[in-house]
């Protein structure tokens, strides 16, 4: 589908990804539920993936695509660890609200 | 090698004293400091015969940044070494018969301090010098902290941070010079011969370096740590501080300021000089109304060292030699004064002047020696301080007549506060605090007696001191003036 | 060769002169407490006697024109300047030596008896010997710095002896005041030395004189130098404005007043100026200043003396007044006349003080003349000697004071008639209050308590012998200087001419007064003085007037009696401001400004920490927010830059 | 290369040890293994390691030079010292011991990767391996709410920062067209650089600054340090920090060559903010771990100076500082852990009167603190000295003056601890310091002094 | 054709992303995220990364999102239990995010990127090519990521296992 590359300027992908990234960031800032925040971080990672794939396609080398694999790997590992942490927290405080997690301060 | 022996003996002694346990520490410390003094005398003899050469040590230490163990003893250094090693036994002896907790640590720290200060005086490598300079701060801090008065925690911390801040700035200045030096070393001889540091740079370098010394000396307005620290430290600590440590500052003016940034000195020296002289009068005036013995002495010392520092900045041989002579004189006198204060405070339990009085009635021997020390500090002729003050005031006079008049007020004001102090503590009728005052014990007599003898000997025949430092000071003066 | 031998023969005794008192001081100072009391007193006295003998030996054996100069060692040196430590003995020194050791010895003797009950007996003699030592150093030094050693040394001894009875804080304050006022003068002296050292490169008398002469007359440099030296002299010799310490100095034991505060130390200022006569002669302005100060001091002190009721205070003000007179002489360039008066004054003032000591001794410490009276019959020797002393000070022919005073007045007459009038007045006032003193003390009935009266007794021989010797000196002392104008040879002036001669070319030269004028002046002075004495007699013996109680004084009397409130004035313009300033510095500048600045730095850091710490609120959401904002800011820095 | 391999294997073995029931011997074995790896690591100092697996060359992924070997050596030493501590620390949690140890060894693998990467992918993986391991360890006290909170906060913010790291990497990739360092340098040398590249670099830098906890990315560190188990706090404050600095230096030194002037104002601002904020807040702390966290932040500020003045090749200065900082911190922690334990408190009060209870421990703590404060002639002094010297040489004298002032401020909070030890009255609770803590403390003490007195060989290592 | 596809997909992506952020119920967030992932996969296909698109769906939608879903349901989260920030903070969050976007774009200065020459290899995203790359150049990261997985695995077990 080479037409995509001709039809869509690369910058659009850049802007799209950046926008997506920023939406992820907004999500992290916006929500208090730790799970949703985790999901928003996934959103950020996805925007990066999209960007990498786009660059990869436009530049004609697939390093970016390979890199996406690693990001996926890491994302999966992070999610596993993160959710495990979340579970153990939930056991203790029965909440996923990050505002409750403020015993450590000052 | 001589230099190394002189340097390391106190360190060794410090470790031995630490290991010796509380019982023997004091005697061992005294023994070693006496041995050190003998060694110094020997060194003096060699120096008069063979000069600088046998003392120079140049040994690689760190290759890059290039820092070497570059030590030596020239006339000025030797004077400072003599000063240190002369005062140290007195300080140690003065701690005898005092009930000191953890004596072994106490004496070990004093000896360690001696070691560090000797290092300052004999280092000819900037960074080595700096290391010793900082190192000297640690023992005195702990001496004051562990054996000090009620307020010691806050006061000593202020002292420590204050002085450290200053010296760190000096370090920055040194580093800058290091890079300016084409050979990239801290070697004093090279740094003092640099020609590529423009006066614009020297202008701020001067302040970076000067502030460190100004805090240590201290020069008004960098002095506010002083009175508190002096009055909170244990006596030996105060003696170390006032007797030797502040001389580090003045010595450093000679060694590490004048020849290193001569253009900076030319630009800012007058201001520094003015500060010094303002300090002389300022501190004297404050001392006049002080009601606390140690604080009074602290301000008096502030006034005296202000004049000494002024002698450095007048940049003439009279002033500089006066400063050198007066460093020794002031060390002897101020140690004597603080020791007398200690004796009084120790026996009466108070340093409040207004609770004292009439000690002369019950302790004539103490009175005589105290009187001599007081006379020494008011610079009566035939005492050591007179020579110094004469040369200093003449130096200032040579620089500027009006400054000399102003600085000369010290001989009036000095008499005012010293005699006032003497009168209030010693004369009149005894108070309830002083009625049971015992006269001096043997070790106290020895310390004060030695000090009294030193006061007269150096006052009547100061020529050896002057001759000792003259060549070095000429060199420094030339370096400070030529560029 | 011969010369050399002779020199060694002279150098040795010359060196012994200061050595004896030094040894006496050291032996008494170190071992005094192990020796019996009397021995220490005698030891001290003998030391001075030894010095006196040596001085006399020198006086007899020294050839005219051959001074003894002994360079002992190099003392202070820097750059090209070297200041040695050495002695110079010339006629001026010799005169001073004889006066110091001679009168010193007599006073030592007197003190053995006077002080015998005092617990500080040994200490007293130790100090006295030390004083003599420093005084000798002062006059023997061959440069200004050695003089300065003695100068400050005698100041110290004065301090120690004024505060001899150290339990009394009033005495201690007096001692401190003396020392500090002297120090003020010393600063002037020191600065004067700096000028000499800087411009002449030396402090040796001869070098300074030679170099100064090269600069010529009326050079401002010399004027400044001499003014500064004069400040030093006025401190030591109690001239306006630095005279207030001397009356207070009477707190010391009476022999001390006699020796230090009358005969020797206070004349050091005059000695110094005579020593630097070339310098002073080169500066007419300074001489004017000295003259004015001398006149003012002389008159003012005399006036204050009129209303003093403490026997020693009267003598003290009279001393100040006489010193003023001497300075007038110097101010007129009559250096040898000044010196002459120094010597005669030493005789009769020492006599008067010792006499007063004897009176006080007899009355067990009573010093207020209102409580005395009629002592003539109880203490004959004291009375007669004191009476002769008073005649001498009043300038009655043929006693010592007459000649020296007359010489000065004659100079004044030549110089300026106004000066002469003032000085004569002052001298008449002197005659009046001296005899007021004599009459109130020795005549009429005793006014003290019965208890005291019972114990009145003449002093022992050891005290009266010095009185007698001094009386003899007061009588014949004047013949050293018979006026030249009347065809006599002025022995004193001749002897001193070697010292004063170099300054002659720079001084105004007056024609000699005619014999008639001179004699007329003399007669006038004597008659006037006698009339003053008579008036005093009428007032105090015949009419039995008594000085009023201090509280009842009013108007001018009150002001005079309170010494013109000078002390209060000084207190208000110097002492109090310094006290205030001291607190101001400490509280305002030290604590409030400097320390506050230091502490404020710490406080600001700490407060910043406290505030910033609140950001660390434990809320992850906030942290993320902060991070993002931080990134935005940092990126903005990049975008903008 | 073999270092990486062996360490990974050691981690695996450690896991297996659980199965083989070797718990008792586990710690000694791990230490022996690490010591061996340390030896192996320096074997490659002069002999370039074989970078092939079969026919595949790894040269564009990793690069083992002196820098990476030296830093790897440091990381291994840190790990060894901390593992010695762990024997006692985890003595009542034997069940999980092998898990914990293997996770920590994997963290070490991550650190090793961060020293030797030659490709942004490796960088990313290294960071993530290290971070994820530490997230886990920070939260490893499952029933301790503070530990939970600590772990989760770290995780959440770490993942968030990773997002920025990746976005930056993507932008760099987009501009340079590759993740390989050689290609990136080629790109930097060849043509005019697209602004996207710079933005990418900055975003990567931010993520790394987050790892070293520089202001304004520092917020996690005090909380996490405080909540995490002490041993892990020690791990974070030493290994993680050193690894992150190694990575930053390597990245900017070998990949983004010449980009430092571009980041100058940002680094400048960050350094100043870091120094002031950390020191100012540290003054207010009552909790020792938090204080150490802030002190760690300020040390990060100093170390960033080395990055800023990189045109001078400051790796030796950075290395020296890392070494001195790490040994002082570990030594401190060794003694602090015991004190915490015996007092059941992590406040300054726990140290009251320590000089009377145990003068040697007090003296050792004092020396560690003095070294951190940069008092000569301890190791920390030369660490600071080198940094300042390089910065002055690079022309950042104003910055150095600011750093120096902060150095003076830092005295205050270091001395707070010293004051507690020397001036406060002692309480009754005895202080028990077991063998392994002593061992580590003494080793660190000796190193601190020896490196201070004869710093030359260490300084020359990277020259 | 592909342009319109791009636009549609992009809009979908962004809308679903916003839905993730804004949804009251966590469950809806999860579902929107899944939608978002599918649209991103669509972009991959557009960009010739077919293999990656598949993997993406498998890993994200199939594994990760299931995990999320699982947890959300396990913890029984719903819109009632959902904590919300103040509106102020929400506005601030949006503004901050917007600012970040602006700053990022500004610093990227999104001008035309370097030209690329067509035709590109269209098989770039095939399994073959990607696999080749992964097992040659990227062999080491591939191996190393196993360490990551190991660590994460042990960690998850340690953290989540129920004990005591």
A77/E125 Cβ within 8 A: no
DSSP character string of D7-76: HHHHHHHHHHHHHHT-HHHHHHHHHHHHHHHHHHHHHTTTSPPP-EETTEE-TTTB---HHHHHHHHHHH
Q: For chain D, how far is it from start to end, CA to CA, in angstroms?
A: 22
SS3 content of chain E, % helix, strand, coil (to 5): 75, 0, 25
The total number of residues written for chain B in this structure = 483
Q: Could you tell me if C637 lies within 8 Å of chain E, comparing CB atoms?
A: no
Contact D414, D295 (CB under 8 A): yes
Cβ contact A104–C618 (<8 Å): yes
What rounded mean pLDDT belongs to chain B? 90
Touching subunits of C (3+ CB pairs, under 8 Å) are: A, B, D, E
Mean pLDDT, range B18-38, rounded to an integer = 90
d(CA A68, CA A98): 29
Question: Are A55 and D149 inside 8 Å of each other by CB?
Answer: no
Distances in Å between the alpha carbon of B333 and those of B136, B340, B376, B456, D261? Answer: 22, 10, 6, 11, 57
Nearest to B179 among D370, D393, D456 (CB): D393
Domain residue spans in chain C?
346-561, 573-640
What does the pLDDT look like over C500-536, one tens digit per residue? 888 888 887 777 777 888 888 888 888 888 898 888 8
What does pLDDT average to over chain E? Answer: 84
Query: Is the pLDDT confidence value at E124 over 80?
Result: no
Interface contact E138, partner D, CB < 8 A: yes
Pick the residue from chain E with its C-alpha nearest to A52. Answer: E44
C-alpha span between D199 and D354 (Å, rounded):
51
> Which residue did the predictor score with more confidence, D463 or B203?
B203
What is the three-state SS of D121-166? HHHHHHHHHHHHHHHHHHCCCCCCHHHHHHHHHHHHHHHHHHHHHH
Are residues D284 and C610, on separate chains, in Cβ contact within 8 Å? yes
Residue found under tokens 């508190």: B228
Reading the block at residue D128, the tokens are: 């993530």
Cα angle C141, C147, C153 (rounded to 5 degrees) comes to: 120
Distance from CA of D390 to the nearest CA of C (A): 25
Q: Measured between CB atoms, does C617 come within 8 Å of chain A? A: yes
Tell which residue, E75, E70, E81, E87, has the closest CA to residue E30: E70
Q: Using CB atoms, which residue from C609, C626, C630 is nearest to D281? A: C609
Report the C-alpha gap between C138 and C154 in whole angstroms: 8
- Pick from D392, D454, D460: CB nearest B179: D392
**Alpha carbons within 13 A on the beta-carbon side of D265:** 10
E47 with A57: Cβ contact below 8 A: yes
Q: What is the mean pLDDT of residues A75-88?
A: 90
> In C, what residues contact D, Cβ < 8 A?
605-606, 608-610, 612-613, 615-616, 618, 620, 622-624, 626-627, 629-631, 633-635, 637-638, 641
Contact B146, B130 (CB under 8 A): no
Closest CB to C620 among A25, A101, A106? A101
Residues B83-109 have pLDDT tens digits of: 999 999 999 998 888 888 888 999 999
DSSP track, E50-76: HHHHHHHIIIIIIIIHHHHHHHHHHTT
Q: What is the mean pLDDT of chain C?
A: 86
pLDDT at C590 > cutoff 80: yes
Q: Which of residues 88-117 of E touch C (CB under 8 A)?
A: 89, 92-93, 96-97, 99-100, 103-104, 106-107
Mean pLDDT, residues C384-405 taken together: 86
Residues of E in contact with A71 (CB under 8 A): none
Partners of B187 in the β-ladder: B125
Yes or no, beta carbons of E150 and D61 under 8 Å apart: no
Residues 6-65 of A with CB under 8 A from C: 25, 28-29, 32
Q: How far is B382 from chain C (nearest CA, A)?
A: 7
Mutate to test the interface with C, among D198, D284, D408, D412 (most CBs of C within 10 A): D284
Domains of chain E by residue range = 1-90, 126-164
Please write the tens of the pLDDT for every residue from B224-245. 888 889 988 998 999 999 999 9
- Work out the average pLDDT over B200-221: 91
Strand, coil or helix: what is B51?
A: coil
pLDDT on residue B208: 92
Task: Verify whether the Cβ–Cβ distance B463 to C75 is below 8 Å.
Answer: yes
User: Are residues B179 and D375, on separate chains, in Cβ contact within 8 Å?
Assistant: no
pLDDT confidence bin for E163, thresholds 50/70/90? low
Q: H-helix or E-strand containing C71? A: strand C68-78
Q: Which of A25, A32, A102 sits opposite C617 (nearest CB)?
A: A102
Q: Are D439 and D84 a contacting pair, CB within 8 Å?
A: yes
Q: With respect to CATH, is domain E1-90 assigned 1.10.150.120? A: no
Subunit contact A76:E63, Cβ cutoff 8 A: yes
Q: How far apart are CA C631 and CA C640, in angstroms?
A: 14
Quickly count: other Cβ atoms within 10 Å of residue B400's Cβ. 16
Among partner residues C73, C169, C194, which is closest to B394 by beta-carbon distance? C194
- pLDDT tier at C2 (50, 70, 90 boundaries)? very low
Q: Which residue has the tokens 């001749």?
A: C494
Q: Which residue has the higher pLDDT, E74 or D305?
A: D305
Residue D426 at interface with chain B, using a CB cutoff of 8 Å? no
CA distance C337 to C481: 9
Query: Which residue did the predictor score with more confidence, C436 or C550?
Result: C436
The per-residue pLDDT for range C229-265, each reduced to its tens digit, is 999 998 888 888 888 888 888 888 888 888 888 888 8
Mark whether A and D touch (3+ CB pairs within 8 Å): yes
Residues C582, B286: C-beta atoms closer than 8 Å: yes
pLDDT at residue C587 greater than cutoff 50: yes
Which are the contacts of B383, defined by CB distance < 8 A and separation ≥ 6?
Answer: B329, B372, B375, B376, B455, B456, B459
User: Measured between alpha carbons, how far is B308 from B327 in angstroms, rounded to an integer?
Assistant: 7
Q: Which of residues 613-632 of C touch E (CB under 8 A)?
A: 621, 625, 628-629, 631-632
Selected residues 25-64 of chain E with any CB under 8 Å from a CB in chain C: none
Q: Is C86 helix (H, G, I), strand (E, B) or coil?
A: strand
Mean pLDDT, residues B418-430 taken together: 88
Distance (Å) from the alpha carbon of C589 to chain B's nearest alpha carbon: 9
Residue B218: asked if its preceding bond is cis (omega within 30°), the reply is yes
CB pairs under 8 A between A and D: 126
Are residues D219 and C615, on separate chains, in Cβ contact within 8 Å? yes
Q: Compute the distance between CA of residue C137 and CA of residue C141 in angstroms, rounded to an integer.
A: 6
Q: Which residue of C has its CA nearest to B430?
A: C167
Which residues touch D160 (CB under 8 Å, ≥6 apart)? A28, A41, A44, C624, C627
d(CA B202, CA B208): 10
Residue B69, SS3 per DSSP: strand
Domain ranges in chain A are: 2-94
Q: For the purposes of burial, counting CB atoms within 10 Å of the CB of E87, is it exposed (0-12), middle (13-18) or buried (19 or more)?
A: exposed
Query: What are the helix and strand counts (H, E) for chain A?
Result: 4, 0
- Contact residues, chain E, for D121 at CB < 8 Å: 138, 141
Give the phi and the psi of residue D228 in degrees, each rounded to 5.
-70, 155
Please state, as a whole number, how many other Cβ atoms lie within 10 Å of the Cβ of residue B481. Answer: 14
Give the pLDDT of residue B338: 92
State mean pLDDT over C352-365. 86
Residues of A in contact with C612 (CB under 8 A): none
Per-residue pLDDT band at E113 (split at 50, 70, 90)? low
User: Mean pLDDT throughout B54-64?
Assistant: 85
For residue D29, which of D4, D109, E150, D37 has the smallest C-alpha distance? Answer: D37
B157 CB neighbours in chain D (<8 A) are 411-412, 415, 419
Q: Which residue of B has its CA nearest to D383?
A: B65
User: Among B84, B85, B74, B121, which residue's Cα sits nearest to residue B469?
Assistant: B74
Residue C503 is given by DSSP the state G
**D341 contact partners, CB below 8 Å, separation of at least 6:** D432
The predicted model gives C119-144 an average pLDDT of 89
For domain A2-94, give the CATH number.
1.10.287.3510
CA distance D406 to B397: 42
8 Å CB contact of D60 and E137: yes
- The SS3 call for residue C563 is helix
Question: Which of E85, E89, E103 is closest, CB to CB, to C632?
Answer: E103
pLDDT tens column, C486-497: 677 778 888 888
A22–E2: do the CB atoms touch at under 8 Å? no
Q: Say if strands D52-53 and D56-57 run parallel, antiparallel, or are unpaired.
A: antiparallel
Chain B residue whose CA is closest to C580: B289
Locate the chain E residue with the closest alpha carbon to D122: E141
A89 interfacial to chain C (CB closer than 8 Å): no
* Stretch among B46-55, B393-402, C440-449 having the lowest mean pLDDT: C440-449
B299: closest CA among B275, B314, B281?
A: B281
Closest chain D C-alpha to B334 CA, distance in angstroms:
29
Residue B28 contacts residue B9 (beta carbons within 8 Å) = no
B abuts A (3+ Cβ pairs < 8 Å): no
Q: Is the separation of the CB atoms in B121 and B40 below 8 Å?
A: no
* In chain B, domain spans: 261-483
Say whether D381 and B62 touch across the interface (CB within 8 A).
Answer: no
Q: Which residues of chain D have pLDDT under 70?
A: none
């Amino acid at each position: 589908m080479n037409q995509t590359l001709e039809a869509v300027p690369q910058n659009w992908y850049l802007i799209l990804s950046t926008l997506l990234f920023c939406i992820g960031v907004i999500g992290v800032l916006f929500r208090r539920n730790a799970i949703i925040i985790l999901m928003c971080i996934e959103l950020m990672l996805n925007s990066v993936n999209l960007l990498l794939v786009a660059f990869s396609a436009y530049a004609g080398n697939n390093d970016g695509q390979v890199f996406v694999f690693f990001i996926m790997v890491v994302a999966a590992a992070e999610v596993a660890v993160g959710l495990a942490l979340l579970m153990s927290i939930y056991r203790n405080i029965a909440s996923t609200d990050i505002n409750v997690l403020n015993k450590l301060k000052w | 090698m001589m230099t190394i022996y002189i340097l390391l003996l106190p360190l060794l002694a410090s470790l031995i004293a630490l290991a010796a346990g509380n019982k023997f520490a004091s005697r061992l410390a005294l023994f070693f400091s006496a041995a050190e003094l003998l060694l110094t005398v020997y060194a003096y003899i060699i120096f008069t015969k063979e000069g600088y050469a046998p003392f120079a040590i140049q040994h690689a230490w760190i290759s890059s940044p290039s820092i070497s163990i570059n030590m030596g003893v020239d006339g000025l250094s030797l004077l400072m070494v003599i000063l240190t090693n002369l005062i140290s036994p007195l300080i140690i002896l003065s701690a005898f018969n005092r009930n000191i907790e953890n004596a072994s640590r106490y004496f070990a720290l004093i000896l360690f301090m001696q070691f560090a200060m000797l290092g300052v005086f004999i280092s000819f490598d900037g960074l080595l010098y700096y290391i010793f300079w900082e190192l000297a701060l640690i023992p005195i801090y702990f001496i004051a902290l562990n054996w000090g008065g009620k307020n010691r925690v806050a006061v000593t911390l202020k002292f420590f941070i204050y002085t450290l801040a200053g010296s760190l700035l000096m370090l920055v200045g040194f580093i800058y010079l290091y890079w300016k030096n084409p050979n990239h070393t801290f070697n004093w001889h090279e740094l003092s011969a640099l020609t590529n540091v423009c006066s614009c740079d020297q202008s701020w370098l001067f302040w970076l370096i000067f502030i460190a010394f100004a805090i240590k000396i201290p020069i008004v307005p960098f002095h506010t740590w002083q009175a508190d620290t002096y009055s909170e430290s244990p006596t030996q600590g105060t003696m170390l501080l006032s007797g030797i440590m502040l001389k580090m500052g003045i010595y450093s003016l000679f060694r590490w300021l004048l020849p290193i940034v001569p253009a900076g000195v030319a630009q800012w020296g007058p201001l520094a000089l003015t500060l010094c002289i303002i300090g002389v009068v300022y501190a004297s005036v404050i001392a006049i109304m002080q009601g606390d013995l140690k604080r009074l002495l602290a301000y008096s010392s502030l006034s005296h060292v202000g004049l000494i520092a002024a002698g450095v900045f007048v940049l003439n041989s009279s002033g500089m030699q006066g400063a050198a002579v007066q460093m020794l004189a002031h060390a002897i006198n101020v140690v004597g004064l603080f020791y007398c204060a200690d004796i009084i405070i120790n026996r009466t339990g108070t340093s409040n002047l207004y609770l004292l009085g009439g000690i002369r009635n019950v302790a004539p021997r103490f009175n005589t020696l105290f009187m001599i020390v007081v006379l020494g500090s008011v610079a009566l002729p035939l005492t050591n301080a007179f020579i110094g003050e004469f040369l200093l005031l003449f130096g200032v006079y040579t620089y500027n007549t009006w400054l000399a008049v102003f600085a000369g007020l010290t001989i009036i004001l000095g008499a005012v506060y010293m005699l006032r102090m003497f009168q209030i503590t010693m004369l009149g009728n005894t108070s309830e605090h002083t009625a049971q005052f015992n006269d001096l014990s043997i070790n106290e007599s020895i310390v004060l007696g030695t000090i009294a003898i030193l006061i007269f000997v150096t006052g009547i025949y100061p020529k050896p001191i002057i001759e000792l430092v003259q060549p070095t000071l000429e060199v420094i003066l030339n370096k400070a003036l030529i560029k | 060769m011969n010369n050399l031998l002779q020199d060694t023969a002279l150098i040795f005794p010359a060196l012994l002169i200061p050595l004896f008192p030094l040894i006496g001081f050291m032996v008494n100072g170190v071992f005094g407490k192990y020796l019996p009391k009397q021995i220490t007193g005698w030891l001290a006295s003998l030391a001075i006697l030894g010095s006196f003998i040596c001085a006399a030996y020198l006086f007899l054996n020294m050839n005219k024109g051959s001074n003894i100069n002994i360079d002992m060692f190099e003392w202070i040196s820097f750059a090209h300047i070297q200041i040695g430590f050495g002695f110079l003995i010339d006629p001026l020194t010799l005169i001073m030596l004889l006066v110091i050791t001679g009168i010193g010895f007599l006073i030592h003797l007197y003190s053995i008896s006077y002080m015998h009950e005092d617990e500080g007996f040994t200490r007293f003699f130790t100090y006295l010997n030390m004083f003599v030592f420093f005084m000798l150093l002062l006059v023997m030094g061959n440069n200004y710095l050695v003089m300065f050693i003695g100068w400050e040394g005698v100041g110290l001894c004065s301090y120690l002896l004024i505060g001899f009875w150290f339990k009394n804080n009033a005495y201690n304050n007096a001692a401190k005041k003396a020392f500090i006022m002297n120090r003020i003068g010393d600063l002037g002296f020191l600065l004067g030395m700096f000028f000499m050292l800087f411009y002449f490169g030396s402090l040796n008398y001869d070098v300074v004189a030679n170099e100064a002469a090269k600069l010529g007359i009326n050079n401002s440099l010399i004027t400044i130098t001499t003014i500064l030296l004069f400040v030093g002299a006025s401190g030591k010799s109690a001239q306006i404005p630095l005279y207030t310490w001397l009356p207070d100095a009477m707190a010391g034991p009476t022999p001390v007043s006699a020796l230090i505060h009358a005969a020797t130390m206070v004349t050091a200022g005059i000695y110094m100026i005579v020593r630097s006569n070339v310098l002073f002669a080169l500066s007419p302005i300074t001489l004017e200043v000295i003259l004015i100060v001398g006149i003012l001091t002389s008159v003012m002190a005399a006036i204050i003396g009129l209303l003093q009721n403490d026997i020693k205070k009267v003598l003290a003000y009279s001393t100040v007044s006489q010193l003023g007179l001497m300075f007038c002489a110097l101010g007129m360039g009559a250096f040898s006349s000044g010196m002459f008066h120094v010597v005669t004054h030493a005789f009769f003032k020492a006599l008067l003080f010792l006499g007063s000591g004897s009176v006080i001794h007899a009355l067990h410490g009573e010093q207020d003349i209102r409580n005395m009276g009629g002592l003539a019959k109880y203490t004959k020797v004291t009375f007669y000697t004191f009476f002769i002393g008073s005649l001498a000070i009043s300038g009655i022919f043929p006693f010592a004071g007459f000649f020296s005073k007359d010489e000065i007045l004659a100079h004044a007459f030549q110089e300026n008639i106004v000066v002469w009038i003032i000085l004569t007045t002052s001298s008449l006032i002197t005659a009046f209050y001296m005899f007021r003193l004599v009459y109130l003390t020795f005549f009429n009935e005793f006014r003290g308590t019965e208890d005291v009266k019972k114990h009145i007794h003449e002093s022992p021989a050891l005290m009266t012998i010095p009185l007698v010797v001094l009386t003899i000196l007061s009588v014949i002392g004047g013949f050293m200087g018979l006026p030249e104008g009347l065809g006599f040879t002025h022995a004193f002036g001749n002897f001193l001419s070697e010292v004063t001669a170099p300054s002659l070319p720079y001084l105004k030269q007056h024609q000699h007064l005619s014999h008639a004028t001179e004699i007329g002046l003399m007669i006038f002075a004597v008659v006037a003085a006698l009339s003053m004495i008579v008036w005093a007699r009428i007032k105090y013996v015949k009419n039995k007037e008594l000085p009023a109680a201090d509280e009842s004084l009013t108007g001018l009397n009150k002001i005079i009696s309170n010494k013109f409130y000078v002390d209060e004035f000084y207190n208000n313009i110097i002492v109090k401001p310094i006290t205030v300033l001291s607190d101001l510095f400490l509280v305002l500048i030290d604590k409030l400004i400097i320390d506050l600045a230091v502490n404020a730095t710490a406080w600001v850091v700490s407060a910043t920490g406290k505030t910033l710490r609140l950001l660390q609120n434990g809320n992850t959401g906030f942290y993320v927010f902060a991070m993002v904002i931080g990134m935005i800011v940092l990126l903005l820095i990049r975008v903008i830059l | 290369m073999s270092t990486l391999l062996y360490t990974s294997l050691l981690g695996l073995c450690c896991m297996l040890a659980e199965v083989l029931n070797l718990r008792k011997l586990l710690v000694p074995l791990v230490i022996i293994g690490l010591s061996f790896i340390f030896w192996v690591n320096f074997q490659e100092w002069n002999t370039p390691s074989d970078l092939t697996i079969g026919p595949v060359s790894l040269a564009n992924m990793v690069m083992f030079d002196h820098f990476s070997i030296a830093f790897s050596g440091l990381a291994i030493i840190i790990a060894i010292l901390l593992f010695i501590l762990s024997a006692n620390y985890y003595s009542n949690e034997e069940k999980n011991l092998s898990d914990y140890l293997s996770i920590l060894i994997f963290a070490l693998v991550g650190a090793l990767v961060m020293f030797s990467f030659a490709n942004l992918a490796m960088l990313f993986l290294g960071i993530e391996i290290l971070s994820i391991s530490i997230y886990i360890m920070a939260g490893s006290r499952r029933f301790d709410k503070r530990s939970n909170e600590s772990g989760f906060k770290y995780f959440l913010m770490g993942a968030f920062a990773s997002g920025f790291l990746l976005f930056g990497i993507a932008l760099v990739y987009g501009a340079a067209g590759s993740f390989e360092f050689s290609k990136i340098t080629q790109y930097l040398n060849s043509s005019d650089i697209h602004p996207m590249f710079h933005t990418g670099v900055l975003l990567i830098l931010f993520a790394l600054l987050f790892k070293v906890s520089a202001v304004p990315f520092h917020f996690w560190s005090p909380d996490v340090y405080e909540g995490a188990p002490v041993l892990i706090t020690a791990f974070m404050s030493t290994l993680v920090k050193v690894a992150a600095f190694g990575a930053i230096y390597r990245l900017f030194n070998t990949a983004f060559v010449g980009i430092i002037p571009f980041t100058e104002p940002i680094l400048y601002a960050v350094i100043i903010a870091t120094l002031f904020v950390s020191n100012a807040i540290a003054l207010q702390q009552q909790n020792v771990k938090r204080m150490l966290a802030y002190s760690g932040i300020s040390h990060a500020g100093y170390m960033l100076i080395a990055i800023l003045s990189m045109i001078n090749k400051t790796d030796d200065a950075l290395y020296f500082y890392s070494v001195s900082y790490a040994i002082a911190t570990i030594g401190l922690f060794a003694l602090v852990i015991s004190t915490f334990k015996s007092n059941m408190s992590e406040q300054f009060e726990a140290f009251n009167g320590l000089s009377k209870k145990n003068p040697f421990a007090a003296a050792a703590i004092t020396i560690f603190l003095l070294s951190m404060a940069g008092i000569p002639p301890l190791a920390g002094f030369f660490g600071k000295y080198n940094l300042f010297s390089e910065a002055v040489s690079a022309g950042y004298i104003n910055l150095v003056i600011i750093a120096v002032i902060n150095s003076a401020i830092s005295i205050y909070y270091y001395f707070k601890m010293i004051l507690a030890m020397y001036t406060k009255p002692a309480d009754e609770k005895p202080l028990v310091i077991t063998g392994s803590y002593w061992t580590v403390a003494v080793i660190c003490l000796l190193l601190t002094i020896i490196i201070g007195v004869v710093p030359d060989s260490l300084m020359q290592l990277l020259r | 054709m592909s342009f319109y596809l791009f636009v549609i997909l992009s809009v979908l992506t962004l809308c679903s992303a916003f839905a993730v952020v804004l949804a009251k119920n966590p469950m809806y967030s999860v579902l929107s995220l899944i939608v978002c992932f599918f649209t991103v996969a669509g972009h991959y296909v557009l960009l010739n990364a077919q293999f990656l698109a598949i993997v993406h769906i498998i890993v994200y939608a199939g594994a990760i999102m299931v995990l999320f879903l699982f947890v959300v349901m396990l913890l029984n989260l719903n819109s009632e239990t959902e904590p919300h920030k103040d509106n102020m903070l929400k506005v601030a969050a949006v503004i901050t995010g917007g600012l970040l976007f602006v700053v990022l774009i500004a610093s990227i200065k999104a001008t035309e990127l370097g030209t690329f020459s067509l035709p590109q290899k269209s098989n770039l995203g095939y399994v073959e090519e990607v696999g080749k790359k992964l097992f040659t150049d990227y062999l080491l990261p591939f191996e190393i990521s196993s360490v990551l997985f190991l660590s994460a695995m042990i960690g998850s077990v340690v953290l989540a296992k129920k004990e005591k």
